[in-house]
A and B are shown apart, each in its own frame.
Chain A
């Protein structure tokens, strides 16, 4: 049921990308996520894919683990593309048929919108997973803490939030593993999780969810003891072993992604025709 225990898990290769300042990576990932919604031409998508490819290669990540994250949202992708495909009515009709009195039609615009939406989702997920594949939960939490540090002034417990985040990330694989164990044990007693209607299936999950919750509370309890025993909250002046430092590599990364963002923005707002022209050069009449 949950086969991808390693989904989005830190993948250590000690590459240039891994060694970047987590704050820079967080910022650039956010920037990337914003920018990807401004991409409008196929040229733009190809450029984005190329940028991601460069990053993945630099990070020395295996393609399989990057694509794994896409598989995780496959259901959402299929679902939304079907919606798009059938409900967009503008543009030339490609095929149409009647079911009862309702007419269903797939239009050219519908097809293009759907393809672009799928590309957007896939590239977005890949971009986000590169962050989690190359950054340890602790670095990530430290980065969030550092970026959120102005909020300390208005008494928001930034440090605790960051700690909660880092622990949550740390326990994801543990809980996945535990879920699989419980599922196996209940299956061994004849439980089945894939028969019946939605309600029956939800009910069939109870033998898994209840022990999972009970065990999680037990774990949380023990973890709290372990953290206390190791002097958590001993001082307000908690220090860090690894201090993120803005370096040369970070400057290059910033420059790289910023220029990518600039090209996308220019394509959208100033030279609105370039991307489209290139699209026509490549795909011609298909568009």
Chain B
């Protein structure tokens, strides 16, 4: 069964006014459980409207035409909505700006409390969530989230979402504004979350290098449509389209192209530094003077 099934999803902002804007235009998307889906696209391409449909934050506009089904729950079914919220956890951009409780423990407990879980279960989940994001319970539980460092705040905010133990976790630009050490930690954490908590991950990012390494599948959005859909290798091979919709290629792909231009024989479909390194190491150890004559 697909974790996510979107059919003919269209959404128009400010309908019938001079400000009318088609944010989503007939989106069809089916995501298998266990997928790490990368979502790329310029600001305003419809990414955030799309993800907010997944947990019912944005209501399906035309119920006759569009359908949103997540883990068997329909977003157009009012009764299913509450459960949908807990099925799909969304970590928004700069999530630390939404912290509000006077202790880390209480803030992380907000979601589980809204799920009406028992106090013991809430406590257990808070402990688990803090542990997963790498914050020591005894050290952090009673501290005020407002006095933590930027990276710690972000972890607390992420813990607040994963304490609901959603099957699907959506992260919108999860490393924006962090320094390199913070970035590396959070990216590693996300990989871990897929193993421990949420088997299906959707990550929105502007960083093509991160996406190329992490995602199994990428969708590229532009003007409310999915323009490209496939593995990172497939998506980034479509250079014209990527450029046309205002996106960049990953560093490894750019370098691969520069090398090919200079006559080095490299296959297409190199998107991560590792792939490039391996390919180059092979060429080198092969000791062959391989020149790609078919390349310009």
Contacts and interface: CB of A to CB of B under 8 A. Distances in A.
Whether A and B touch (Cβ < 8 Å) is answered with yes
Interface of A: 6, 62, 64, 181-182, 184-192, 206-208, 210-211, 214-215
B76 to A, nearest CB: 17
Given A181-B92, A188-B85, A214-B146, A207 B100 contact: yes
B88 to A, nearest CB: 8
Given A62-B18, A184-B57, A211-B100, A189 B95 contact: no
A211 B57 contact: no
B237 interface: no
Given A190-B114, A190-B115, A64 B92 contact: no
B18 A184 contact: no
B86 interface: yes
Contacts of A184: 52, 57, 92
Contact of A189 (B18, B19, B114): B114
B98 A186 contact: yes
B232 interface: no
Given A62-B18, A210-B100, A211-B98, A189 B92 contact: no
A188 B146 contact: no
B57 A188 contact: yes
Nearest to A188: B90
Nearest to B161: A189
Q: What is the interface residue range for chain B against chain A?
A: 20 to 34
A225 B115 CA distance: 42
Contacts of B115: 190
Nearest to B107: A207
Contact of B17 (A64, A191, A215): A64
B160 interface: yes
A105 B19 CA distance: 45
A186 to B, nearest CB: 7
A188 B110 contact: no
Contacts of B95: 185
8 contacts: A181-B97, A185-B90, A185-B92, A189-B114, A190-B111, A191-B114, A214-B100, A214-B146
A185 B98 contact: yes
Given A188-B92, A192-B114, 10 more contacts: A182-B97, A182-B98, A185-B90, A189-B110, A190-B86, A190-B110, A190-B115, A207-B100, A207-B110, A215-B97
B221 interface: no
Nearest to A6: B19
Contact of A64 (B18, B57, B89, B161): B18
Interface of B: 17-19, 52, 55, 57, 82, 85-86, 89-90, 92, 95, 97-100, 110-111, 114-115, 146, 160-161, 164
B92 to A, nearest CB: 5
Nearest to B108: A189
A208 B101 CA distance: 11
- Most chain B beta-carbon neighbours within 10 Å: one of A185, A191, A208, A215: A185
Contacts of A210: 100
Q: Would you list the 4 A-B pairs with minimal beta carbon distance, nearest first?
A: A190-B114, A210-B100, A189-B111, A185-B98
Nearest to A3: B14
A13 to B, nearest CB: 11
Contacts of A64: 17-18
B99 A211 contact: yes
Nearest to B52: A184
B164 A190 contact: yes
A206 B100 contact: yes
B57 A187 contact: yes
B29 to A, nearest CB: 20
Contacts of B90: 185, 188
A70 B166 CA distance: 41
Contacts of A208: 100
Nearest to B82: A190
A61 to B, nearest CB: 10
A211 B114 contact: no
Contact of B97 (A6, A190, A191, A211): A211
Nearest to B102: A210
- Most chain B beta-carbon neighbours within 10 Å: one of A6, A62, A182, A207: A207
Nearest to B100: A210
Contacts of B160: 189
A280 to B, nearest CB: 39
Contacts of A189: 85, 110-111, 114, 160-161, 164
A188 B171 CA distance: 12
Contact of A188 (B19, B89, B97, B99): B89
A207 B160 CA distance: 13
Contacts of B114: 189-192
A12 B56 CA distance: 35
Contacts of B111: 189-190
A64 to B, nearest CB: 5
